[in-house]
A and B are shown apart, each in its own frame.
Chain A
Amino acid sequence: NAGVTQTPKFQVLKTGQSMTLQCAQDMNHNSMYWYRQDPGMGLRLIYYSASEGTTDKGEVPNGYNVSRLNKREFSLRLESAAPSQTSVYFCASRKTGTENTEAFFGQGTRLTVV
């Protein structure tokens, strides 16, 4: 079972470059999330998509854009990378409906902006 797959696993960018982090889940989940994790900061929500066709800002959306391409895929784009965006990025997905369910995480993307 693949679960939540993130690509790439590692990336180094120069300041000002752009890139897209990809996330796909094969669990037929409705909700998907993008987080960044910095030392001592826990997981901070960048953007989330409660269902296919909707996206909303989280706690730290500045400098990022997202696309919910279809039910499986939720991508995160950095248009002009800055050193402050050096972080580990996690994608997560969750089944929604009448029951409470946990979120499943991808393995993360370690991004360094120089």
Chain B
Amino acid sequence: EDKVVQSPLSLVVHEGDTVTLNCSYEVTNFRSLLWYKQEKKAPTFLFMLTSSGIEKKSGRLSSILDKKELFSILNITATQTGDSAVYLCAGRSGATNKLIFGTGTLLAVQP
């Protein structure tokens, strides 16, 4: 059965800290891993990763995929209160086109 596991489940940091969020996956015929940010409404897309070792970067956020060890990390540097959200990762199966999400990591950034 396909599954995606995220850790930690929740995290509290102070502004300026750097955080690393983890996502491991077991997905049949894996095609891509996606990261989303959710702030009280619909998830918004951050990154899609398909190849190992190639870092995707957007401002203070970056992400990388390891297809051998079946995991991805999302890094946020110099955190701000606006980064407070639930961060979701999802694995897509090429066999079925299923998109399976993890439970998410709730990040709280305190001033």
Residues of chain A at interface, number, CB under 8 A: 27
Bitwise interface map of A from 70 to 114 toward B, beta carbon under 8 Å scored 1, else 0: 000000000000000000001010101000111111111000000
Main secondary structure of the interface of B (DSSP, over half): strand
A96, B31: Cα distance in complex, Å: 12
Distance of B64 from chain A, by nearest CB (Å)? 16
* B: interface residue count bin: 20 to 34
Residues of B within 8 A of A53 (CB): none
Q: Does B103 lie within 8 Å of A40, measured CB to CB?
A: yes
Residues of A within 8 A of B99 (CB): 33, 45, 48, 92, 94, 103
List A residues 24-51 near B (Cβ within 8 Å).
Answer: 31, 33, 35, 40-45, 48, 50
A106, B41: Cα distance in complex, Å: 9
Q: Contacts A40-B9, A50-B96 hold; do A100 and B50 have CB atoms under 8 A apart?
A: yes
